Amino acid sequence: MYLRCWWFNLGFPNPAQYCTVDEALWHRDLSVTLICQREKNIVHRLKSLPQEQQNLFLPFIQRSATAASRSRSAMDTSKLKANDARVQNASFTTRGLTYEYMIGEPQDKPPVGTVLLLHGFPDTSFGWRCQVPFLMARGLRVIVPDLLGYAGSSTPTNLEDMSLKNMSEDMKNLVHHVAGHDQQIILGGHDWGGHFAWRMALWQRQIIKCVFSICTPFFAPSPYSFEDLVRSGKLPNFGYQLQFIGPDVEREIQGETKMRQLINALYSGKGPEGEVGFSVHKGVIFKNLEKLGKTPSLTEEELDHHVAKFMLQKAPQMRGPLNWYRTGAINRGDEKEIAEKDIVFEMPTLFIAATKDLALPPHLAKNMESCMPKLTRGEVDSTHWALTEAADEVNDIIGKWLSNIVDETSKASL
């Protein structure tokens, strides 16, 4: 007979494979679930076994649990620093476009799965610096690209190359390049990356095991112009996007000094009298940029690294990032057919809201259950920058959700 074991960060060879068991010893139906969770070494379940057989099997579990615990404790899970040795940087070309990406592998053992993380605006792969080590410590391979228009990745001149449908295909090709063709991935996103993740789950659902998004709820495809809805006053918290679509930010923000001022403003830097450099209703307030003190959301080293990555783009450096806001009509055209159908996400989904997010307030996610029967919700006390401001809470929610998915998958196979 065969024993189906779901191996999650246990360090065994041949993860998630069938193992031959001696028929003479295991003469009754056997089902075992081994799941490594964050706050305990092993949750084990033995069904329909006499006590003497359990006693034979338990030492094997305990030895493995001890090894897994030691391996995890040895893994440094502190947030990544600039040019951190725990991850590697690489590049990948598809459709004639180059993506720079960061990849992290679990320590001293083969990965038990692959996570693809998608960043938002104004961010890069470095935006996931608090989550990457946490996921690596759980035995996962983590791939984090700098998306088109950002850092050292390409900025296409044709906006159609930046459609969510085309970039979803790019991400599939990147996953196949790194991890092979024979596994489904865990997909996560934040801000624009969250919106991208939901769309990728529609366009490339065959390669996706589960999806999570931080701050960004699922917005169903619509035949109506999003920009027109904002202009009508129905979505005042997206007023900044009208400025981003236009030429002002791209024209005004060029060179390292201006780029530093902009990033500082977008990450909530404030002036001596409470002045801000960005409003969700109006966008960038150029006259205030020079007045702002350093944002508390980034260390000096992180701000330097952030600016350096944005300066890898040719002038005007903001053209690529802002082009994401200029593809609305292209994406609506691609989504016209699916907008006419009932959308259901069959895979497990997770949405984590940030209670102080002014651009994406939690109430925007109130109807997600209608298309996500396996939705899990989480909430953190944070602004839009939850990935770093509430890193421990975000990681804890993601970790428990992943453990539950492994648990449910194991039960379904028994």
Number of neighbours of residue 394 by Cβ within 10 angstroms: 25
Mean pLDDT of the chain: 86
**What is the pLDDT confidence band of residue 81, given thresholds at 50, 70 and 90?**
very high
Find, among 155, 131, 153, 152, the residue nearest to 143 by Cα: 131
Q: Give residue 258's pLDDT.
A: 98
Q: Give residue 58's pLDDT.
A: 58
φ/ψ of 19, rounded to 5, equals: -120, 130
Catalytic residue among 191, 305, 306, 357: 191
Q: Is the pLDDT of residue 77 over 90?
A: yes
pLDDT per residue over 100-136, tens digit each?
999 999 988 899 999 999 999 999 999 999 999 999 9
Q: Give residue 22's pLDDT.
A: 31
- The percent of residues in the chain predicted with pLDDT above 70, rounded, is 80
Q: How far separated are the first and last CA of the chain, in Å rounded?
A: 13
Q: Give residue 271's pLDDT.
A: 96
Q: Is the pLDDT of residue 359 over 80?
A: yes
pLDDT per residue over 2-47, tens digit each?
333 333 333 333 333 333 333 222 222 222 323 333 333 343 444 4
Q: Is the pLDDT of residue 51 over 80?
A: no
Active site residue 384: yes
For the chain, the farthest-separated pair of C-alpha atoms sits apart, in whole angstroms, at: 80
Place of tokens 């969250």: 194
Pairwise pLDDT comparison (253 vs 63), residue with the higher score: 253
Q: Give residue 143's pLDDT.
A: 99
Active site residue 248: no
pLDDT per residue over 146-204, tens digit each?
999 999 999 999 999 999 999 999 999 999 999 999 889 999 999 999 999 999 999 99
Q: Give residue 4's pLDDT.
A: 33
CB 372 within 8 A of CB 345: yes
Q: Give residue 314's pLDDT.
A: 94
Domains located in the chain, CATH noted: 2-74 (no CATH), 88-220+340-413 (3.40.50.1820), 237-324 (no CATH)
Q: Is the pLDDT of residue 68 over 90?
A: no
Euclidean distance between CA atoms 350 and 404, whole angstroms: 12
pLDDT per residue over 326-358, tens digit each?
999 999 999 998 988 899 999 999 999 999 999
Q: Give residue 62's pLDDT.
A: 54
Q: Is the pLDDT of residue 94 over 60?
A: yes
